Amino acid sequence: MERIVQGTSPAEVVAKLQKADGYYITNTARDLSQSDYKNRILLHTDILAADARERAGYFSLEITGGASVHVDILRKQVDPFLKLEILREKMPTTMFQTLCRGVNLFGYRPYPQNIIRFTVKEFAKYVDVWRTFDFMNYVPNMQAVFEEVAKAGKINEPCICFSTGPEHTNEFYLKKVREILDVTGEDIILCIKNHGGLGTPQRIGQLVDNIRQKHPDLPIHYHGHNTDGNDTGRIVEAVRNGANIVDAADHSFTGFYGPPPILTVIQTLKDMGHTAIGIDEAAVIESSDVIRDERQYYDDFESQIKGFQPTVQIHKLPGGAMGSSLEQAVKGGFLDKMPDILHKELPRVQKELGNYWSVTPGSQILWTTAVSNVLGGERYGNPSGDLRNLLLGKYGPFPFYEPETWIYEKVLGENWKTVLEDEGGVEDIGDMDIDKEKATLTERIGEEPTDQQLTLYLQHPNDAVDFFKFEAKFGQVHVLPPSIFLRQGGFDPGETLIFTDYTGKEHVVEVGPSIVSAEDGETSVYLNVDHHQRVYSFEPDIPEGAMAKEAIMSKEEIIVLAKAGDMRAPFSGNICEISVEEGQQVVQGDKLAVMEAMKMQTPISCEMDGIVTSIFAKVGDSLQPGDKILRVDIDE
């Protein structure tokens, strides 16, 4: 049996999978990076592994999508399209795979239909296999993506998100498979998306078997996470019961929440008589060997809590969100509350909110609600805007049952019934004027953007502009190895850094002294760049204490000021919308602005009737509690 190569049509791919005597493997590098390294594995490392991964003979390399598109521009400062372009050149035959959140694309909330289509069209130029899911398993949320992928001649891999509990029966999932096939037709691969790594091997085996009995020709791709340490067991049962493709990752980088090691899967299944089709085991080992030394530089991004978490069967957090959740707990100083949050509050919230699938963005809603319930004292006392939208049905209908009415009351207010009636249901988001957005972007970056730049901007406007400016200032930084890009504590005096720029030119940088001017506190960093001395100056930092003292206020103070029309940021986060203009008449309850923190949006509501007299904050500003947003005065 031969491997399937890039450029094969969806129908041919499906035909080959149907005839396959054995199983295929997807190298889930992106999910590994997201689950175990907070998405920080650099393109530099992927390039290092590219040659061996190309020879290893995978069904596909899952290398983009999920949160990675955002993190690429936000934290890795790499163009997600350039990444694919570079890797494609080095890996001409391997199919590239993405993970797309349906109507939420690679973000956290629904996008207009024309943006979805525009984005899919641009990414489909590089991406061969489109794994698409919806956290409510609501098929209409995925339809636009399905259509664009089919139009581009690429492979659709719709997901049924998997979870456990009394409602999560084989019958339910078979019904979902039917719903998907009714929309997509037969030339697809079905993905069982076990983002939490839930259920036992036996449970997964039964599910695969049930689908296989009902749909003998439907290729099945099992995706899981190793959070409980037992995903190899689930993979084995999936393959034994007829799954055609499974997900795993390079062993030298495997951690606790991502996919299990590829080699372990191969060895276990080989002993049972199942062949990994197209796989060159030596190249699988080589891919791990060539990147092994790089792992040390990602140390800071590995999980704060080490060890497998079999309790995932209780809290159900998806592997992809484990790292970032624990990071928040560390940063927020509530690591000690984690047992309460994870093992008591999360399962409770989950049941209360309808036992839907804990995966982006639904998992963030469960997580922030549980955190706020535990830390805030009053359960559902401080609901996020996204929880509100969930209850309003903006993300789709609840799959099994609706939350109890007291939760609606807490979140939507006393007259929740009217609110639900007026605002409820899947929102029909109007198309965005792409030409207008393009004009705005042109103005912001000072030149006409490419379609790729526009795509990034339409998804993450402020972060994309920041990235374009970064690129103009610092160049293509993916050429810097993690030992430079992620260095902590500065470089050693006299240290020599060698790297090759994107044109293939090698550069040598020697680190010289840093001298602080006694006069103005400016630091001059001396570097010998290609044997020529260069000086880089940095203005002195404003002491953090001074800033913090002025800004941070107590919650009570902020509420008192808000009642008087002085709107301050109630928590630390970014302004993502200013909803009013200066001079605008407002009444109590009007939405004035929207702030975002931990990927969740929260509206800032007006506390009095009046007129907006001044606006201090602008979209994209990062505010501390107590920072001014705007001012409302009584209209006289």
Segment 528 to 567, residues that bind other proteins, using CB under 8 A:
529-532, 534, 536, 538
In angstroms, give the least distance from the CB of 87 to other proteins: 19
Write the binding mask 36 to 65 for other proteins: x where contact by CB under 8 A, - elsewhere.
----x-------------------------
* Size of interface with other proteins, in residues (CB under 8 A): 40
- Strands in 610-615's sheet, in edge-to-edge order, are 566-568, 628-633, 610-615, 585-586
Enter the tokens of residue 544.
Answer: 């953090």
Does residue 297 bind other proteins (CB under 8 A)?
Answer: no
Instruction: Considering only the stretches 73-81, 345-353, 390-398, 574-582, report the one whose residues sit in contact with other proteins under the rule CB under 8 A.
Output: 73-81
Helix, coil or strand: residue 156: strand
Angstrom distance (rounded) from CA 107 to CA 100: 9
Give the one residue of 12, 431, 501, 550 binding other proteins; rule: CB under 8 A: 501
Query: Nearest approach, Cβ of 327 to other proteins (angstroms)?
Result: 11
Which of 470, 521, 555, 564 touches other proteins by CB under 8 A? 470
Say how many CA atoms lie within 13 Å of 571 toward its Cβ: 16
- Binding window for other proteins (CB under 8 A); candidates: 227-235, 339-347, 372-380, 502-510: 502-510
Q: Is the peptide bond before 110 cis (omega within 30 degrees of 0)?
A: no
**Considering beta carbons, is residue 435 or 539 the nearer one to other proteins?**
539
Nearest to 596 by CA among 574, 629, 570, 567: 574
Cα(163)–Cα(312) distance, rounded to whole angstroms?
Answer: 11
Are the C-beta atoms of 432 and 105 separated by less than 8 Å? no
List all residues 6 or more positions away from 89 whose beta carbon is below 8 Å from its beta carbon: none
Position 597 contacts other proteins (CB under 8 A): no
Which 3 state secondary structure label does DSSP give 527? Answer: strand
Work out whether 76 is an interface residue with other proteins (CB under 8 A): yes
Verify binding: residue 33, other proteins, rule CB under 8 A: no
Q: Does 451 bind other proteins (CB under 8 A)?
A: no
- Quick one: 166 or 513, whose CB is closer to other proteins? 513
Sheet holding 523-529, edge to edge: 496-500, 506-516, 523-529, 532-538
Query: Which of 183, 434, 527, 576 touches other proteins by CB under 8 A?
Result: 527
Asked whether position 494 contacts other proteins by CB under 8 A, the answer is no
How buried is 152 (Cβ within 10 angstroms: 0-12 exposed, 13-18 middle, 19+ buried)? Answer: middle
Q: Is 505 in the site for other proteins (CB under 8 A)?
A: yes
Spatial contact of 34 and 66, defined as CB atoms under 8 Å apart: yes
Name the 3-class secondary structure at 540. coil
* Position 330 contacts other proteins (CB under 8 A): no
Q: What's the CA gap between 143 and 146, in Å, rounded?
A: 5
| DSSP class per residue in 351-394 | HHTT-----TTHHHHHHHHHHHHHHHSSTTSS--HHHHHHHTTT
Of 164-172, 266-274, 283-291, 498-506, the window that binds other proteins (rule: CB under 8 A) is 498-506
Q: Least Å distance between CB 535 and other proteins?
A: 9
Shortest Cβ 137–other proteins spacing (Å):
35
82 lies in the binding site for other proteins (CB under 8 A): no
Tokens read off for 364: 């963030």
- The binder of other proteins chosen from 113, 252, 440, 523 (CB under 8 A): 523
| Contact window for other proteins (CB under 8 A) among 59-67, 184-192, 315-323, 500-508 | 500-508
As a whole number of angstroms, the distance between CA 88 and CA 82 comes to 10
Residues found near other proteins in the complex (CB under 8 A) = 40, 75-77, 470, 473-477, 479-480, 484-491, 497, 499, 501-503, 505, 507, 509, 511, 514, 523, 525, 527, 529-532, 534, 536, 538
